[in-house]
Amino acid sequence: MSVRALIPYLQKYIPGNPTVVTEFIPGAGGRKAANHLYRSARPDGLTIGNIGGGLILNAVLGEPGVQYDLDKFIYLGTSESAIVWVFLTRKEAGLGSLEKLRSAGSVRIGAQSVGHIIYMCGRLFAYLLGVKDAKFVTGYSGPELDIALSRGEVDARANIADTLLKRTPEFLERGLVDLHATLEAPKGRRHPRFTHLPELETFVQSEKEQKVLAMFRAFRVAGTPYLLPPGTPRQRVEMLQETMPKIFNDPDFQRDYKKMTGEDPSPVTADALEKIVREIPRDAETVEFFKKFAGAGPLPQR
């Protein structure tokens, strides 16, 4: 939906008002599209890619099938970056304080699937909050997970703050859940409804934990980048990089974006996005540590 919101404004701001045609390339969590843009698309400035956060995550984690060099893409920016997650438990579980949460043992934390952003987020919350022997229950859609929490099939979940407020406001209005902490991306981007909660970084105890949290934030702050294949002529790169901020700052685009996606845009410029990608921790120790949160195995010992 974010691409659909952008297209009329590409036509508006690119000189000559060109026709813009979309092509969906499914497969491998965005790897197929990224490989195509990197290896096959003509670097003439006429093909712009828009690929989800898996573009960066897959490359940094060294996932199979990645045939592109993350640092050789030409970035144009992203229309979405900021997000806040909340970790919550159902009231009836009796886990209303961090002390109770830590001492309970075998807390069932729900998520969509292994490797899903909510799954990884929930595991980071569990690890850094000190939840003992957490059990991760997967196989739900987002709304199904809300129902599972209400029915007592799971005890806890991570959720996007705005999704919590829009989809299940009764959780808060009727006091059906206890809230424990938030995770901000980027760091310092507080949500006005949850400023009373501690941010997850306050529970970090080592540089290794700091790095893995920074990596997780960066994957999300990078959003779904717009990018060009390597070798695109500099003149066209500069024209498109100058075009994107004009679009992001257009009040009509901001209105249409919110209408189509339900969220306000939180754009990042080309230079800022390149800096985010460049500064993601990529040392072997941090990558291997992060994989423990993305995978299905037990959480690491602290």
pLDDT at 183 over 70: yes
Token pair, residue 28, equals 């491998």
Per-residue pLDDT of 199-218, as tens digits, reads 999 999 999 999 999 999 99
pLDDT at 29 over 70: no
Residue-range domain boundaries for the chain: 2-81+222-285, 83-206
- Which pTM was predicted? 0.89
pLDDT at 193 over 80: yes
Per-residue pLDDT of 230-271, as tens digits, reads 999 999 999 999 999 999 999 999 999 999 988 889 999 999
- pLDDT for 200 equals 98
The pLDDT > 90 percentage for the chain reads 84
- pLDDT for 280 equals 92
Q: Which residues contact 70 (CB under 8 A, 6 or more apart)?
A: 55, 56, 59, 60, 277
Superfamily grouping for domain 2-81+222-285? Bordetella uptake gene, domain 1 (3.40.190.150)
- pLDDT for 162 equals 93
Distance of CA 262 to the CA centre of its chain: 16
> Residue 134 and residue 109: Cα distance in Å, rounded?
7
Per-residue pLDDT of 66-123, as tens digits, reads 999 999 999 999 999 999 999 999 999 999 999 999 999 899 999 999 989 999 999 9
| CA angle at 135 for the pair 131 and 137, rounded to the nearest 5° | 135
pLDDT at 27 over 80: no
Q: Which residues contact 68 (CB under 8 A, 6 or more apart)?
A: 34, 35, 37, 38, 39, 59
In the predicted model, what is the mean pLDDT of residues 142-166?
Answer: 96
pLDDT at 2 over 90: no
Do the Cβ atoms of 248 and 265 come closer than 8 Å? yes
Instruction: Give 83-206's CATH code, choosing from 2.60.40.10, 3.30.70.141, 3.40.190.10, 3.40.50.2000.
Output: 3.40.190.10
pLDDT at 28 over 70: no
pLDDT at 14 over 80: yes
- pLDDT for 1 equals 72
Mean confidence (pLDDT) of the chain: 94
Token pair, residue 94, equals 């009796």
- pLDDT for 52 equals 82
Residue 23 dihedral angles phi and psi, to the nearest 5° = -135, 125
- pLDDT for 251 equals 96
In the predicted model, what is the mean pLDDT of residues 47-74?
Answer: 92
